[in-house]
Amino acid sequence: MQNSEEITIKVSSHVAQTYQKATERKKQSLAKLVSLFLREDINEEIDFLGKLMDEISDRAVSRGLTPEILEKILNE
């Protein structure tokens, strides 16, 4: 990354331990994801995507999708 700075964020102990064990590639991918998430010009798109995902989830639940059914579908 060009012109990068180190930041500190609070996460659970489990997440911190998982991050410490992650490969360098995964750490770089996470850094890119955080950078994308915090970019001002993309925040509106992320907000829209989040709202869209919430709406899809609400519709699925109203149609009877349960966590158990979803897990069964994903495992197939």
CA distance 64 to 12: 33
- Residue pair 42/36 in contact by the 8 Å Cβ criterion: yes
pLDDT at 50: 80
Residues 6+ apart with CB under 8 A from 22: 30
Closest CA to 60 of 49, 73, 47: 73
The reply to whether the predicted model has a pTM over 0.75 is no
The distance from CA 26 to its chain's CA centroid, rounded to whole angstroms, is 13
Which tens digit of pLDDT belongs to each residue from 50-72? 888 888 999 999 999 888 888 88
Mean pLDDT value of segment 10-26: 94
